[in-house]
Structure 1
């Protein structure tokens, strides 16, 4: 199927993904799980979770292989790869934005729709626990599809809280309650936090850790909150007209609501989707989250795809 693993698309903590072709000519992405790291839990999580889904913003699972210790997942092929490569540029001020603001905004809306479906549209609520640009795939038309359900948890629709023996996710996107339980219970609001961090990264294009940016080394979410609070210009280089400004401001406000430290202060995905699609003037200004910019880390929990964002430290 993969022509002897000749075309590698990506590699993560649990295995590599290869481009393949089915006998009918259909292109697929084949995720071959790492024998040394996978104990079967991530494989079962992915198969059980994604087999319960059917949504335009969730990647489609065509099938899987389970033969001895060989485990593979066969997904629809996404020609434009992951969102990560479109929003992470070494010198964004020296090149044109690869995705315009309309496309970025529509991607954010699509991801929100997919998460709302996972949280409210399935018979069993699915909590993803690893929302980040690397796990958002883009088709020919840049329609976003959430992928990689290896860390997902299932819970009844009437319940939103889950218990976990250990933290899971990627440094920079993990909600504070996941690793500091006295903040609140782990729930679907943990995905909301990760979504917000990702949306702010989409706006800032890694400027939050870029010491050469126009706001120096200050942490991007903190810097952009101050700009909004003082009703100043955004100061983002790629905002070129009023439409761009409206989309950027809407994404920033929604992102800041998502990253509230206390889970109960974060809106559910259904409300966030309304906010994204509604009028900017009707959006309530978010309270100030607790901000901190600790030393840069590249350590991850459960996964092996380093993030440029750092989680907020809790006092």
Structure 2
């Protein structure tokens, strides 16, 4: 009798005993057709006690058969199509709302009622905006420079909402007398609410402390008794203790046998894997355990290969690795970034996962999952149909009109404002450039690539130079203070500088630093355009078709010139940048002329896409010599 036969027999016995020991306990997951395997807090209508939200139609696994769900106390015929389930978030489609939005019916602007808070959990619309429906007879007065828009095309009332959609923003008292409604959005707010309000609603389930403790620490099931009070169901009853002990004993035997077989048969393989489990991997694993609450899926490498169809469709390549187009089981397209083999401390990988997992904003790219398996590292992002901004401003056949560029500039500024002020922690990106701005099918921008990001407490306004010397940036976008103390302290203003250099390139449709010629102030675009603005000359730029285009370009240019001031204290913070972009061009003052010219090309050696510490120091010495 072979070892393999003994192992299979013991394993089969163990499984049978475990099934007997369950005694009615809920399975760990349910199969639900195109939704894949769903787990608590979701369940199926056939086992409503096994979860908080029950999805119907899971017994029919056909792809075309819609899964639906009822939310709150609604009529039995009023249900919603379930389009996606991921961990603690469920996305549903409201077809009635979709029809109202299509017909531009103002009945679309009503509260979407999520399930009521219970002892088990509370529920939130993940991407939302609060609107205020104010009777026209009311006198509504808003402070100056207040970015609330007044929509007047609804009969009987005016609709007010914040164009910046700021988190935790104090609502003006004059709106307190109006009716509030919270609706889902799919894009940044604009002057037409029918364009950004979404019939696709992502609902996040936040478990109560009692339920969390029951589920994760006690291994129980969260349930309510007949009085609606919480209790932690422990599953198997006491009378099954002999079966449990037997199952445990067989389990121990099977485990020992399996370990012996693995040691004897695969000693060399196991040793090699152990040896490759170097300190870098251990550091990353410790980091992931420390941030165990990260709300994103962890994939194994075989799943990554399946998603990318064995890496058939390559989208691009950089110093970090390669990006491939992939497709999830639910049909969504994704961009999968495969990082180079582990050769560093893993800081960029950890930065990216930690930074972006805690974000939720229409102008920040969504991280859907990651993979860490041996030396294999991958990041799974939402797919952006139009790729990076870079190809639309530097390539002749990819030109965008001035209105679209202006929309992109404001969107990126709002994304940075969220990173600097809207998160629980302040996130400094340190690599804002056209290549890292991705565009969806409607050319809405999203900030990506958080490999160089630094996370700091909200109260911290400056970043330690010791910690930042390990960071890198891309030549042409790095703020002076990042590579020299003489220019000031590193802070959120460093991102403002990079943003300003990027906007300058968007305006000029060319790189600020021309690497094909020797340095002179004439080929340094910020100086050239400053002189023209200062003397009120025609900017002479392409794609300016009318006065409206000219105004937008002048506004972007003046704001960009403020952003690239050498002294960080002279630059505006990103909230002020948004305010300036959305204001009138006549109200903008000309900033001082940018102090630094373009860096010399010959003595500075840049690594692929990044600037090394050595080149930073050389550039620093040259800039100081030039300034004197």
> Could you say whether these structures have the same fold, taking a TM-score greater than 0.5 normalized by the shorter chain as the test?
yes
Q: Structure 1 pair 216/190, CA: closer, same or farther in 2 (3 Å)?
A: closer
Q: Structure 1 pair 11/39, CA: closer, same or farther in 2 (3 Å)?
A: farther
CA contact (8 A) 1:14 1:38 kept: no
Aligned pairs, number: 304
Which structure is higher in strand share?
2
Aligned pairs for 1:197-216 within 5 A: 197-206=501-510, 208=512, 209=514
Could you say which residue in structure 2 is the equivalent of 1:145? 446
Could you say which residue in structure 1 is the equivalent of 2:331? 25
Give SS of 2:336's match: strand
Out of 218, 236, 250, the position equivalent to 2:541 is 236
Q: Distance in 2 between matches of 1:216 and 1:205?
A: 18
CA contact (8 A) 2:320 2:340 kept: yes
CA contact (8 A) 2:427 2:453 kept: yes
Q: Distance in 1 between matches of 2:596 and 2:549?
A: 26
* TM superposition shift of 1:115: 0.1
Give SS of 1:9's match: strand
Give SS of 1:313's match: helix
Could you say which residue in structure 2 is the equivalent of 1:79? 385
Could you say which residue in structure 2 is the equivalent of 1:262? 567
Instruction: With a CA cutoff of 8 Å and minimum separation of 6, indicate the structure with the bigger relative contact order.
Output: 1
Unaligned runs of at least 5 residues, structure 1: none
Q: Distance in 2 between matches of 1:178 and 1:172?
A: 12
Q: Structure 1 pair 84/37, CA: closer, same or farther in 2 (3 Å)?
A: farther
Q: Does 1:46 align with 2:352?
A: yes
Could you say which residue in structure 1 is the equivalent of 2:135? none
Could you say which residue in structure 1 is the equivalent of 2:317? 11
Q: Deviations over 1:168-202 (max 9, x none)?
A: 21010000000111110100000000000000000
* TM superposition shift of 1:289: 1.6
Unaligned runs of at least 5 residues, structure 2: 1-306, 612-618
Aligned pairs for 1:87-106 within 5 A: 87-89=393-395, 92=396, 98-106=399-407
TM-score in terms of structure 1 length: 0.91
Q: Distance in 2 between matches of 1:243 and 1:300?
A: 40
CA contact (8 A) 2:522 2:528 kept: no
More displaced stretch, 129-138 vs 215-224: 215-224
* TM superposition shift of 1:39: 3.1
Larger radius of gyration, structure 1 or 2?
A: 2
Q: Does 1:64 align with 2:340?
A: no
Give SS of 1:199's match: helix
Q: Distance in 2 between matches of 1:247 and 1:37?
A: 46
Q: Does 1:119 align with 2:423?
A: no
CA contact (8 A) 2:452 2:471 kept: no
* TM superposition shift of 1:165: 2.9
* TM superposition shift of 1:10: 1.4
Could you say which residue in structure 2 is the equivalent of 1:283? 588
CA contact (8 A) 2:367 2:382 kept: yes
Could you say which residue in structure 1 is the equivalent of 2:160? none
Give SS of 1:87's match: helix
Q: Does 1:180 align with 2:180?
A: no
TM-score in terms of structure 2 length: 0.46
